[in-house]
């Protein structure tokens, strides 16, 4: 709190999520009364990190961004519902490895086509998304850190990149350079709205300005509506439901009204699944939701339940997390260094619903896994012909999703990297344990085609999975992997 501040308050816990506001006297008033009177500071804390901490030549280290607070308060109210509830990115950069919203902002920076109409659509969609999720869009004249907020299931993903995107002030730099954290969406929404409302009411009481009164009234009435479930899923999917599936739309409207909590709208079983795909065909939407009805009525058994460790995948080298956890699972289950047991039979014994035959999934979905809070679990492998992995590896990948993902997961046309990369690495490492591979190679200094075939035969693994694992273990190069795959006819 600065010496001349007349208001200062922290909302939340800095070790989880907190915002701090202070209000004081503007030493250099602009003449705009509302802006001058809202002079103060803003701090943003996530998991013990102060994302607004900066270092400058003139001011040294400072935790808060100090400037007029009015544009920031107005932005939080204007974008609040979409900031808290909008999950999918606009479909501008398919096939790109995106660990978080900062990566999306970077990857979508260049127009994908030279066609003027398409370029204009790209610009509008990208700008609209950034305007609702990028903190720097709150006020162009404030030196804010490059932070993005995005819904991710029942959490808010907070990502920042002050390394690739410097501050507009040459003499100022933010201390936290690059990272991603996740906080509970309900708590995030509650604290954010409480903070902005309290500050607006303090300004209204302290200054008596009509503008502050209007802002305070908007804060008090800010609330998601019955139709705001559309932000939880892709826009095309929401439009298709509204147009072609009126009964489902009405049910989602009803549940939204019943369960909305301020800015926060919890997922339903339907939106939790539909957030993972971009479908605009009513038959495919119905088929996906119907497939999910195969979820067992009872939870999995203790041997499987104790292995469940749901976390959001993050970071660039997520496959290392999958590799490491595969070793943990093998050791915990006593599977040693040899081939896996019948994984489908074992999963069924553990109470997990498993289907590897046709169940009506859309062709664009190659794998569907669901695990509820009560640990009911279901995995379906769609028998599509173009999937390169064998059944055992695909089941092991599905197990990776069930154990590591917070809730549902889908693979196919819309794969959510990095969770898909983590689960796939887990599946390959579970099927092909490192010590078992090295035992099969018996210390050979180089690997030839026959070595690869012996490994494939011993562990009943396909060419893609085997060469992928050998490359990750640095036993072959990427170039050698390509040559081996060609030689194996894969």
pLDDT tens for residues 94-105? Answer: 767 888 999 999
- Which helix (H) or strand (E) segment holds residue 354: the answer is strand 353-355
- Considering only residues 301 and 412, tell me which one the structure prediction assigns the higher pLDDT: 301
Q: Please, which pLDDT band fits residue 1 given cuts at 50, 70 and 90?
A: low
How does DSSP classify residue 268? P
User: What gap in Å lies between CA 322 and CA 190, rounded to an integer?
Assistant: 34
Ramachandran region, residue 355 (left: φ > 0; alpha: ψ -120 to 50; beta: rest): beta
- Whether the per-residue pLDDT at 391 is higher than 80: the answer is no
pLDDT tens string 233-263: 999 999 999 999 999 999 999 999 999 999 9
User: What gap in Å lies between CA 75 and CA 135, rounded to an integer?
Assistant: 9
| Average pLDDT of span 38-54 | 97
Tell me phi and psi for residue 123, to 5 degrees: -60, -45
pLDDT tens string 460-482: 999 999 999 999 899 999 999 99
Least confident of 88-97, 224-233, 242-251, 369-378: 88-97
Find the farthest-apart pair of alpha carbons in the chain and give their distance in angstroms, rounded: 83
Question: 7: which strand partners?
Answer: 23
For the chain, report the end-to-end CA distance as a whole number of angstroms.
65
In the chain, domain spans: 7-221, 228-275, 302-487
Tell me phi and psi for residue 30, to 5 degrees: -90, -15
- Whether the per-residue pLDDT at 358 is higher than 60: the answer is yes
Q: Residue 365 contacts by C-beta under 8 Å, 6 or more apart in sequence? A: 277, 288, 382, 410, 411, 412, 413
Least confident of 297-301, 314-318, 402-406: 314-318
Burial 191-220 (b: 16+ CB within 10 A, else e): bbbebbbbbbbbbbeebebebbbebbebbe
Calculate the alpha carbon distances from 136 to 1, 18, 35, 52, 141 in Å.
23, 18, 18, 12, 9
Length of the chain: 490
Query: CA 466, 471, 474 angle in degrees (round to 5)?
Result: 130
| Average pLDDT of span 141-156 | 95
**SS3 of residue 442 by DSSP:** coil
The pLDDT value given to residue 387: 57
Q: Please, which pLDDT band fits residue 164 given cuts at 50, 70 and 90?
A: confident
Least confident of 19-23, 307-311, 351-355, 356-360: 356-360
The pLDDT value given to residue 415: 73
Centroid of chain to Cα 121? 25
User: What gap in Å lies between CA 34 and CA 211, rounded to an integer?
Assistant: 7
Contact 250, 226 (CB under 8 A): no
Tell me phi and psi for residue 215, to 5 degrees: -65, -45
The pLDDT value given to residue 390: 59
Please state, for a pLDDT cut of 70, what percent of the chain lies above it: 97
Contact 377, 310 (CB under 8 A): no
Closest CA to 104 of 159, 52, 151: 159
Alpha helices, DSSP H, located in 146-268: 185-207, 210-221, 235-244, 246-259
Q: Please, which pLDDT band fits residue 87 given cuts at 50, 70 and 90?
A: very high
| Average pLDDT of span 176-182 | 96
Mean predicted lDDT score pLDDT of the chain: 92
How does DSSP classify residue 51? T
Calculate the alpha carbon distances from 27 to 53, 66, 67 in Å.
21, 11, 10
pLDDT tens string 91-144: 777 767 888 999 999 989 887 777 888 888 888 999 999 999 999 999 888 899
The pLDDT value given to residue 392: 82
| Average pLDDT of span 359-377 | 91
User: What gap in Å lies between CA 352 and CA 96, rounded to an integer?
Assistant: 32
């Amino acid at each position: 709190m600065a010496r001349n501040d007349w208001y200062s308050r922290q909302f939340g816990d800095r070790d989880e999520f907190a915002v701090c506001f202070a209000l004081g006297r503007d030493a250099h008033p602009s003449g705009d009364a509302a802006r001058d009177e809202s002079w103060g500071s803003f701090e943003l804390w996530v998991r013990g990190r102060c994302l607004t901490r900066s270092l400058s030549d003139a001011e040294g280290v400072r935790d808060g961004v100090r400037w007029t607070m009015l544009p920031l308060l107005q932005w939080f109210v204007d974008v609040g519902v979409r900031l808290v509830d909008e999950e999918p990115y606009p479909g501008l950069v398919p096939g790109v490895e995106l660990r978080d919203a900062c990566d999306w902002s970077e990857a979508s920076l260049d127009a994908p086509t030279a066609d003027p109409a398409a370029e204009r659509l790209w610009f509008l969609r990208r700008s609209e998304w950034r305007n609702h999720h990028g903190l720097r869009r709150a006020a162009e004249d404030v030196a804010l850190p490059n932070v993005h907020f995005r819904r991710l299931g029942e959490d808010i993903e907070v990502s920042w990149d002050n390394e690739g995107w410097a501050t507009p002030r040459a003499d100022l730099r933010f201390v936290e350079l690059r990272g991603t954290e996740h906080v509970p969406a309900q708590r995030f929404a509650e604290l954010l709205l409480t903070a902005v409302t309290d500050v607006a009411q303090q300004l209204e009481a302290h200054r008596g300005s009509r503008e502050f009164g209007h802002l305070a009234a908007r804060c008090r009435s800010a609330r998601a509506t019955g139709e705001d479930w559309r932000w939880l899923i892709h826009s095309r999917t929401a439009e298709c439901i509204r147009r072609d599936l009126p009964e489902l739309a009405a049910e989602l409207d009803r549940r939204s009204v019943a369960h909305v909590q301020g800015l926060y709208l919890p997922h339903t079983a339907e939106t939790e699944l539909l957030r993972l795909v971009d479908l605009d065909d009513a038959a495919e939407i119905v088929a996906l939701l119907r497939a999910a009805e195969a979820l067992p009525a009872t939870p999995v058994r203790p041997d499987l339940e104790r292995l469940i460790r749901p976390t959001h995948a993050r970071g660039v080298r997520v496959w290392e997390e999958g590799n490491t956890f595969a070793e943990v699972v093998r050791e915990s289950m006593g599977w040693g260094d040899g081939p896996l047991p019948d994984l489908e039979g074992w999963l069924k014994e553990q109470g997990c619903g498993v289907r590897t035959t046709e169940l009506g999934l859309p062709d664009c979905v190659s794998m569907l896994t669901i695990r509820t809070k009560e640990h009911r679990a279901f995995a379906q492998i769609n028998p599509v012909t173009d999937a390169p992995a064998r059944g055992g590896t695909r089941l092991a990948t599905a197990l990776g999703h069930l154990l590591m993902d917070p809730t549902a997961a889908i693979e196919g046309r819309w794969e959510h990297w990095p969770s898909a990369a983590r689960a796939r690495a887990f599946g390959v490492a579970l099927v092909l344990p490192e010590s078992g591979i090295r035992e099969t190679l018996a210390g050979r200094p180089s690997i030839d085609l026959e070595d690869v075939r012996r490994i494939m035969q011993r562990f009943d693994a396909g060419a893609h999975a085997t060469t992928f694992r050998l490359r990750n273990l640095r036993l072959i190069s990427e170039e050698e992997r390509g040559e081996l795959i060609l030689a194996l006819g894969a």
